[in-house]
């Protein structure tokens, strides 16, 4: 049993190291594109089969986003980002739970004994992905805020003159808000990475301790956690986006 925080390298593509988590990211993206394309191209007025599921997801997400933004046009504008985060994170979390995820791989010898480098690893259990995603999200939040309020209007949220009503307190709170904008980057990425990586390790450990039946409740738990983490990531993105578009309260 070997646990590695970093995603394992499978092979090199030129100078680019292809890791198992990147392979999963690619496969999940490809699968999502193919399945949604298939559904959208064959959509009918009376939904059937896969179209039902896709419509359920799309309509559920849209109505949820509308309930947060309270604005239909804004909801449609944010929908692609929120939906993509939710779907991609959800499926990459769940793919990590498939049987054999940690066991099938390349034989690999380290220090004289052979271990297995698994082919597949949940994308969310790779810091490269969670950091990249949260960086994009944080940048999107900042740009959305500046685009709706203007550079000055958005800046007013963080740089408060100490000469007005709450005086120095307002200035300090504003600076704290600025720090928390950057903290979002870390909290987003480490929350997702921590939850999914911990889940994978938990499952591996349970499987090594008691191979049959006992790991089952933990598997269900991880299915639930995978969903919750995807929902939390998408929901927080949405809420921060909405908050960024609201003018400063003071």
Residues that bind another protein (CB under 8 A): 4-7, 15-17, 19, 22, 25-26, 29, 32-33, 36-37, 39-40, 43, 45, 54-55, 58-59, 62, 76, 79-81, 83-84, 87-88, 123, 126-129, 131-133, 135-136
CB count within 10 Å of CB 248 equals 15
Q: How large is the greatest C-alpha to C-alpha distance in the chain, in angstroms? A: 70
Rounded Cα distance, 61 and 205, in Å:
35
Buried b (16+ CB within 10 A) or exposed e, 226-247: beebbebbbbbbbebbbebbee
**Shortest distance in whole angstroms from residue 218 CB to another protein:** 24
Considering the complex, what minimum distance in angstroms separates the CB of residue 57 from another protein? 10
d(CA 142, CA 210): 48
Looking at the Cβ atoms of 133 and 149, the one nearer to another protein is 133
Nearer to another protein, 19 or 245 (CB): 19
CB 29 within 8 A of CB 44: no
Q: Which is nearer to another protein, 43 or 164 (CB)?
A: 43
The b-or-e profile of 155-171 (16+ CB within 10 A means b, else e) is: bbbbebeeeeeeeeebb
> Nearer to another protein by C-beta: 91 or 154?
91
Least separation in angstroms between CB 156 and another protein: 30
Cβ at position 187, least distance to another protein in Å: 16
Residue 76 vs 250, nearer CB to another protein? 76
Taking the complex as a whole, the smallest distance from the CB of residue 40 to another protein amounts, in Å, to: 5
Rounded distance, CA 150 to CA 247, Å? 10
């Amino acid at each position: 049993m070997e646990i590695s925080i970093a995603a394992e390298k499978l092979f090199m593509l030129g100078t680019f190291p292809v890791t198992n988590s990147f392979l999963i990211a690619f496969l999940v993206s490809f699968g999502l594109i193919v399945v949604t394309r298939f559904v959208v191209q064959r959509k009918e007025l009376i939904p059937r089969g896969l179209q039902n599921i896709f419509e359920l997801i799309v309509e559920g997400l849209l109505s949820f986003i509308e309930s947060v933004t309270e604005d239909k046009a804004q909801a449609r504008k944010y929908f692609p980002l929120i939906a993509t985060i939710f779907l991609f994170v959800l499926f990459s979390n769940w793919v990590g739970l498939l049987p054999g995820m940690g066991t099938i791989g390349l034989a690999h010898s380290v220090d004289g004994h052979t271990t297995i480098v698994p082919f597949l690893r949940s994308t969310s259990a790779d810091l490269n992905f969670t950091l990249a995603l949260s960086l994009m999200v944080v940048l999107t939040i900042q740009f959305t805020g500046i685009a709706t309020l203007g550079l000055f209007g958005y800046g007013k949220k963080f740089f408060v003159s100490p000469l007005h009503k709450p005086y120095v307190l307002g200035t300090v709170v504003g600076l704290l808000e600025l720090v928390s904008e950057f903290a979002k980057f870390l909290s987003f990425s480490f929350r997702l990475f921590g939850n999914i990586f911990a889940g994978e390790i938990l499952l591996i450990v349970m499987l090594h301790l008691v191979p049959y039946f006992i790991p089952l409740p933990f598997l269900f738990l991880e299915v639930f956690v995978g969903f919750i983490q995807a929902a939390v990531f998408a929901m927080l993105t949405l809420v921060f986006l909405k908050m960024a578009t609201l003018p400063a309260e003071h």
